[in-house]
Amino acid sequence: MLHWLVRHEIRNDAAVVLGWASALKATDPESERIVSRIEAAGEHIVELTESVGTMVESLEEPQTELVPIELVAVVEEEIDRLEARHGDCTVTFDRPEGTVSVRADRFLNVVVRNVLTNAVVHGDEEETITVNVSRAADGRAELTVSDGGPGLSESDRRRATERGYTTDEEGIGVGLYLVRTFVDRYGGSLTIESDPEQGPGTTVRIRLESER
């Protein structure tokens, strides 16, 4: 029932809000700001329904079998999705030669999606999001996503993957907690690198067991 309410009822209403918001015509800077806030809130609701719905699904099948999945293809798919939803963002993707297969399940798309969305939400919209897939020194596959935002303090980096953590006092954090949940399931590692004193930006680094 929770899954149905989140994925259908709430999401459908959010789609109605976005549909009507897109029909509004701003005639001055103030009304333009209002319409922009409505659209941003609607998009946030949609993204939250996706994250919560995925968490419910994962609880229903906690012992999913890990299988080889081509990481580069997943990243490309989610970058296309991100650029379609956030038209103002710019993403550069450093692709490796050949394929990079990792041991994961069907929720790997959700992991990549949430890391990318997190970079857009907490980064600087005028900066480019940099994505890289490579092989780490230990042979594992590595995905890094870097934004140009203000960065995180050491305390915020430690807490960033906790359930409910957010840097927005009016919001609730789901994305990176969800990412950590699945990365742990895959036997991988998640680190967050940021030092505001050294410059802006935050890098999320994920390492997963690769298929040779």
Flag whether pLDDT at 80 surpasses 70.
yes
Whether residue 83 sits in one domain with residue 174: yes
pLDDT value at residue 188: 94
Token pair, residue 151, equals 């960065």
Q: How does 101-129 read in b/e, with b if 16+ C-beta sit within 10 Å?
A: bbbbbebbbbbbbbbbbbbbbbbeeebeb
> Percentage of residues in the chain with pLDDT exceeding 90?
25
pLDDT, greater one: 120 or 187: 187
pLDDT, greater one: 152 or 205: 205
**Domains of the chain: total:** 2
Whether residue 9 sits in one domain with residue 41: yes
Whether residue 100 sits in one domain with residue 86: yes
Instruction: Please write the tens of the pLDDT for every residue from 2-52.
Output: 767 777 778 788 888 888 888 888 888 888 888 888 887 888 788 778 777
Whether residue 78 sits in one domain with residue 58: no
Whether residue 77 sits in one domain with residue 35: no
Compute the average pLDDT of residues 94-99: 86
Alpha carbon distance 180, 186 (integer Å): 10
Whether residue 199 sits in one domain with residue 134: yes
* Per-residue pLDDT band at 205 (split at 50, 70, 90): very high
Whether residue 89 sits in one domain with residue 42: no
Whether residue 46 sits in one domain with residue 22: yes
pLDDT value at residue 172: 39
Global pTM? Answer: 0.73
Nearby residues of 116 by Cβ (< 8 Å), 6 or more positions away: 78, 79, 82, 91, 129, 131, 145
Instruction: Print the domain residue range for 25.
Output: 1-63
Whether residue 91 sits in one domain with residue 45: no
Whether residue 94 sits in one domain with residue 23: no
Pairing of strands 101-104, 141-146: unpaired
pLDDT value at residue 47: 76
